[in-house]
Structure 1
Amino acid sequence: MTERAPLEGIRVVDVSQGIAGPHCGMLLALHGAEVIKIEPPSGDWMRQIGPRYGKQTSHSASYNRGKKSVVLDLKNPDALHVARRLVDRADVFVENFRPGAVGRLGLGYEEVHKTNPGLVYLSISGYGQQGPYRDRPCTDTVAQAFSGMMTMNRAPDGTPVKAQVFMIDAITGLYGFQAVSMALFARRADGAGKYLDVSLMQSIAAILSPHLLDQYLLDGPPRLPNVPGGVYQSKDGWVLVTLLHERQYQAICRVIGLPALAEDPRFNDFEKRAQNKDILLPLLQQAFLKETSAVWADRMREADVLTSPVQSPLDWLSDLHVQAVAAAPMVTQPDLGKVPVPNVPGATPSRDGDPRHTLPDVGEHTEEVLAGLGLSASEIAALTGGRAA
Structure 2
Amino acid sequence: MCGRILADLGADVVLVEPESGSPGRSRPPFHLNESLYFASHSANKRSVCLDLTDSGGQSQFLQLIQEADILIESTPPGTMAGWSLGSDVLHNRNPQLVILSISDFGQTGPYRDFSASNSVQLAMAGMLCRSGLPGREPLLPPGDLAWECSAVQAAWVVLVSYWQSQHIGVGDHVDFSLFEATAQILDPIMGVTGSAAAGKSSMQLAESRDRPKAGSFYPIFRCKDGFVRMCILNPRQWQGMSEWLGPDHPFSGPEYGNLFTRMKVMDQIVELISNKLIELNAVDIVREAQLRGVPTALLAQPEDVLNDEHFQARGAWTHLTLSNDSNGILPSGYLEIDNQRMGVQCVAPKLGQHTDKVLQEWLNNPASRNQKSSDNKVRYCTGSKRRPLEGIRVLDLGVIVAGAELGRILSDQGAEVIKVENQAFPDGSRQSGTKDQVSISFAQGHRGKESLGLNLRSPKGVEIFKQLAAKSDIIVSNFKPGTLEKLGLGYDLMREINPSIIMADSSALGRTGPLSKSMGYGPLVRASTGLTGQWRYTDDDASFSDGITIVPDHLAARVSAIGIMALLARRLKTDQGGEVSVSQAESLLNVFTTQFLRESVEPGSLKALGNHNEFSAPNGLFPCAGDDEWCVISIETDDQWQRFCQLIERPDLSQDANLKTASDRLRARDRLNQQVSEWTRQYSPVDVMNRLQAANISAGAMFRLPELDKNPHLYARNFIAHLQQPGNPEIWPTENAPALSDNLPDPDIRPAPLQGQHTREVISRVLGMPATDIEALIESGDLEI
Aligned partner of 2:441 in structure 1 is: 59
Structure 1 vs Structure 2: percent identity of aligned residues? 24
Q: Where does structure 1 lack aligned partners over 5 or more consecutive residues?
A: none
* Residue 370 (structure 1) aligned to one of 763, 771, 780: 763
* Residue 615 (structure 2) aligned to one of 217, 225, 248: 225
Alpha-carbon distance between aligned partners in 1 of 2:631 and 2:754, rounded to the nearest angstrom = 41
Alpha-carbon distance between aligned partners in 1 of 2:440 and 2:779, rounded to the nearest angstrom = 32
Residue 48, structure 1, aligned to residue 438, structure 2: no
Aligned partner of 1:305 in structure 2 is: 697
Quote how far apart the aligned CAs of 1:193 are. 1.5
Instruction: Report if aligned partners of 1:30, 1:357 keep a CA contact under 8 Å in 2.
Output: no
Instruction: Report if aligned partners of 1:47, 1:60 keep a CA contact under 8 Å in 2.
Output: yes
Deviates more, 1:110-119 or 1:11-20: 110-119
Aligned partner of 1:360 in structure 2 is: 753
Quote how far apart the aligned CAs of 1:300 are. 1.2
Render the CA deviation track for 1:200-237: whole Å, top value 9, x for unaligned: 01211222212222322322327712322222111111
Quote how far apart the aligned CAs of 1:182 are. 0.9
Amino acid at match of 2:759: T
Alpha-carbon distance between aligned partners in 1 of 2:490 and 2:504, rounded to the nearest angstrom = 11
Aligned partner of 2:528 in structure 1 is: 146
Aligned partner of 1:189 in structure 2 is: 573
Residue 348, structure 1, aligned to residue 730, structure 2: no
* Residue 200 (structure 1) aligned to one of 566, 584, 594: 584
Q: Secondary structure at the match of 2:468?
A: helix
Residue 281, structure 1, aligned to residue 281, structure 2: no
Mapping of residues 206-355 of structure 1, within 5 Å? 206-221=590-605, 224-236=614-626, 237-336=629-728, 337-346=730-739, 348-350=745-747, 354=748
Alpha-carbon distance between aligned partners in 1 of 2:482 and 2:746, rounded to the nearest angstrom = 38
Deviates more, 1:297-306 or 1:220-229: 220-229
* Residue 417 (structure 2) aligned to one of 26, 31, 35: 35
Render the CA deviation track for 1:284-340: whole Å, top value 9, x for unaligned: 223322222232222212221112221111101112222222210223223443111
> Residue 384 and residue 275 in structure 1: after superposition, are their counterparts in 2 closer, same or farther (change >3 A)?
farther
Mapping of residues 80-119 of structure 1, within 5 Å? 80-119=462-501
Quote how far apart the aligned CAs of 1:385 are. 8.6
* Residue 511 (structure 2) aligned to one of 112, 123, 129: 129
> Residue 260 and residue 213 in structure 1: after superposition, are their counterparts in 2 closer, same or farther (change >3 A)?
farther
Deviates more, 1:71-80 or 1:192-201: 71-80
Aligned partner of 1:77 in structure 2 is: 459
TM-score (norm 1): 0.90
> Residue 257 and residue 75 in structure 1: after superposition, are their counterparts in 2 closer, same or farther (change >3 A)?
farther
Quote how far apart the aligned CAs of 1:76 are. 3.2
Instruction: Report if aligned partners of 2:453, 2:783 keep a CA contact under 8 Å in 1.
Output: no
Amino acid at match of 1:121: M
Q: Secondary structure at the match of 1:138?
A: coil
Aligned partner of 2:553 in structure 1 is: 169
Instruction: Report if aligned partners of 2:385, 2:745 keep a CA contact under 8 Å in 1.
Output: no
Quote how far apart the aligned CAs of 1:64 are. 1.4
Render the CA deviation track for 1:99-142: whole Å, top value 9, x for unaligned: 11111011111222221221111111111111112112222111
Instruction: Report if aligned partners of 2:461, 2:783 keep a CA contact under 8 Å in 1.
Output: no
Deviates more, 1:7-16 or 1:142-151: 142-151
Render the CA deviation track for 1:33-89: whole Å, top value 9, x for unaligned: 11111012274211225x536233343222212211111232233323322322232
Quote how far apart the aligned CAs of 1:168 are. 0.6
Instruction: Report if aligned partners of 1:26, 1:63 keep a CA contact under 8 Å in 2.
Output: yes
Quote how far apart the aligned CAs of 1:261 are. 3.0
Amino acid at match of 1:364: Q
> Residue 105 and residue 281 in structure 1: after superposition, are their counterparts in 2 closer, same or farther (change >3 A)?
same
Instruction: Report if aligned partners of 2:724, 2:751 keep a CA contact under 8 Å in 1.
Output: yes
For these two proteins, the number of residue pairs brought into alignment is 383
Render the CA deviation track for 1:7-50: whole Å, top value 9, x for unaligned: 2211110111011122111121111211111012274211225x
Amino acid at match of 1:70: L
Q: Secondary structure at the match of 2:419?
A: strand
Alpha-carbon distance between aligned partners in 2 of 1:101 and 1:208, rounded to the nearest angstrom = 30
Instruction: Report if aligned partners of 1:67, 1:359 keep a CA contact under 8 Å in 2.
Output: yes
Deviates more, 1:206-215 or 1:180-189: 206-215
Quote how far apart the aligned CAs of 1:254 are. 3.6
Quote how far apart the aligned CAs of 1:359 are. 1.7
Alpha-carbon distance between aligned partners in 1 of 2:659 and 2:693, rounded to the nearest angstrom = 22
Quote how far apart the aligned CAs of 1:384 are. 4.8
Instruction: Report if aligned partners of 1:39, 1:70 keep a CA contact under 8 Å in 2.
Output: yes
Alpha-carbon distance between aligned partners in 2 of 1:139 and 1:257, rounded to the nearest angstrom = 51
Deviates more, 1:118-127 or 1:157-166: 157-166
Residue 179, structure 1, aligned to residue 535, structure 2: no
TM-score (norm 2): 0.46
Amino acid at match of 2:680: F
Instruction: Report if aligned partners of 2:617, 2:636 keep a CA contact under 8 Å in 1.
Output: no
Amino acid at match of 2:674: P
Amino acid at match of 1:91: D
Q: Secondary structure at the match of 1:251?
A: helix
Amino acid at match of 1:54: D
Residue 155, structure 1, aligned to residue 537, structure 2: yes
Amino acid at match of 1:293: P
Alpha-carbon distance between aligned partners in 2 of 1:345 and 1:194, rounded to the nearest angstrom = 26
Instruction: Report if aligned partners of 1:78, 1:383 keep a CA contact under 8 Å in 2.
Output: no
